[in-house]
Every structure is written in structure tokens, then in C-alpha cells.
Amino acid sequence: MKMNQLKNVGLVLMGALLVYTTACGDKTKKGGKNGTDTTEPVVVDPKENTMKIGYYNVDSLNEQYKLVKEVSDEIEGKIKKMSANFDAEVKQFEKWAKDMSDKMEKGLLMSREEKEFADKYQKRQMELAQKEQKLSAEIQQMQSEQFIKATNRVNDFVERYAKENGFDMIFQYQIGGQIVYINEAFDVTTDIINGLNADYDQLKKDLK
């Protein structure tokens, strides 16, 4: 939906809202059952209680927002490099362990050397397990930090977009989320993605 088509989009928050007055006045009637007071409902015009809302599709944003793609590619590259370095260490350890095991089977090691090998093997195995856990934690932290930065950029832009275009509320829609259906008339995904990409392109130009 184009931006100029969004100006007339509104959502009635309250239908026929009934307001009951409890104070005495022209709209208060006496003589209810058991002598109690009764009140006359006042119908509020729904047109006076409207909000302009919109939504954007998170899945589409993740696919088309340039920052998300570049960050994902960057993280994937770092993960591949970290994994490759770790795999090289594991292969080196496995080769050493195999060579030493072969020597043991051939009786080429003294008892003292066999014990040293067993101790070193166990120690190195523990070190690699700890390093694997550390790498996993580093990857998760890196992904979390980048996700937070990207989310903050999206939220800042959406807030600015909403204020500039008179929206009272903009929320996220995603397959599998809490919202099962929403009228496409409220869809501002294209505007959000185009605006985010324009901002990101400008930022990259400014950094050159």
C-alpha cells in the first residue's frame, strides 16, 4: 500500500460504547425495582474513538532488509572461520592420539610414557570440550548482539515512520505468531522495508 493511501486507514477501537452515569441529573431515572436508581446509557459515537494502525510482515523484512542479509552473511563467515580453526585443532589432536596409540600397540612406549600419554590425552580432550563450549557461547553472544542492534534500528525507524505518517500503532505480523489474520489494508511492510533500506544505503555512503 502506498503512503498516500494510508492516510484514510483507521480502526474502530470501540463499537457502541455504553457509558453509565451514576450522578443525579437529567439522564438519571428514579423508580427501578425495589426503589433503586436506574441510569440511562449514553452511546458514544465510534467515529470519535478511532486509531490509525498498521503492521509489517517480519518474515518479509528479514528477507528483504539489506542490513539483516549483510549481518547474516557476516556472522556466517565468522562462524565458518571459527569452526574451521577448531576442526583443525581436533584433527591435529586425533592424529596425535592415533600415532601414540599405534606406538602403544607395537610396544614402543615405556610404562612411564604410556601414563604420560593417557594423562595428556585426557587433559587435551577436556580442553577441546571446554573450547567447543566457549566457541558456542561466543557465537550465541555475537548473534544476540547483532540481533539487538538490527532490532533497535528497525524499532527506531518504525517509530519515526509512525509519527511522520500519523499512526497511533504499528505492530509485527509473522507466520506462527499470535495474530492469525489481519486485513491487508493495514499492511505497511513495503514502506517499512523501502525506508529501512534507504536509510541503510545512506548510512553506508556517509561511512565511505
Three-class SS of 147-193: HHHHHHHHHHHHHHHHHHCCCCEEEEECCCCCCCCCCHHHECHHHHH
Residues 80 and 172 in one domain: yes
**Same domain for 27 and 10:** yes
Local confidence band at 27 (pLDDT 50, 70, 90 cut-offs): very low
- pTM comes to 0.65
Range of the domain at 40: 1-51
For the chain, the domain total comes to: 2
Supply the pLDDT for residue 131. Answer: 96
Helix (H, G, I), strand (E, B) or coil at 13: coil
Helix (H, G, I), strand (E, B) or coil at 178: coil
Does residue 195 have a pLDDT over 70? yes
Reported confidence tier of residue 16, pLDDT bands at 50, 70, 90:
very low
Q: CA 170 → CA 37, 147, 154, 173, distances in Å? A: 44, 20, 12, 10
Same domain, 133 and 88: yes
Return mean pLDDT, the chain: 81
- Are 51 and 20 in contact by the 8 Å Cβ rule? The answer is no
- Shared domain for 86 and 159, answered yes or no, is yes
The H helix count followed by the E strand count for the chain is 4, 8
Three-state DSSP class for 29? strand
20 shares its domain with 79: no
